Amino acid sequence: MLKGFKQFILRGNVLDLAVAVVIGAVFGDVVKALTADLLTPLIAAVGGKPDFSAIQFTVNGSKFLIGDFTNKIVAFLMTSAAIYFFVVAPVNALQARRHRGEAPPDPTTKKCPECLTEIPIAAKRCSACAQPV
């Protein structure tokens, strides 16, 4: 029983997943720090106020705390922008550079001329409309 558990734990995909979770958690902290320590003060320098939590209005005795919601939206947008511009865009550029000059893979599907459904290249009839291809 312990032998099977040991094999399960030492499989590559389990270890890879564990490493990815740990790195993801640490990277989340880095992105939060980038947002809170660099981007939010930059907005404060331009806009004059980094914290919107005091903004609210009252209707029939009910308080609507739109400032806190605004803070969360701004944090989400800044975090998303940081992830896109500092992770996604550079990785996409590296991937494009790595695959530059390679021939694209041969297509495995084609469109049915009758109903425009994607069908395998070797198909003789469309699976959606039964039209001969």
Q: Does 50 have pLDDT greater than 70?
A: no
Q: Does 117 have pLDDT greater than 80?
A: yes
Contact of 55 with 66, CB cutoff 8 Å: yes
- Does the predicted TM-score (pTM) go above 0.75? no
Confidence category of residue 45, pLDDT binned at 50, 70, 90: confident
- Residue 27 has a pLDDT of 80
Cβ-proximal residues to 58 (8 Å cutoff; 6+ apart), any chain? 64
- Residue 49 has a pLDDT of 65
CATH superfamily label, 2-100:
Large-conductance mechanosensitive channel, MscL; domain 1 (1.10.1200.120)
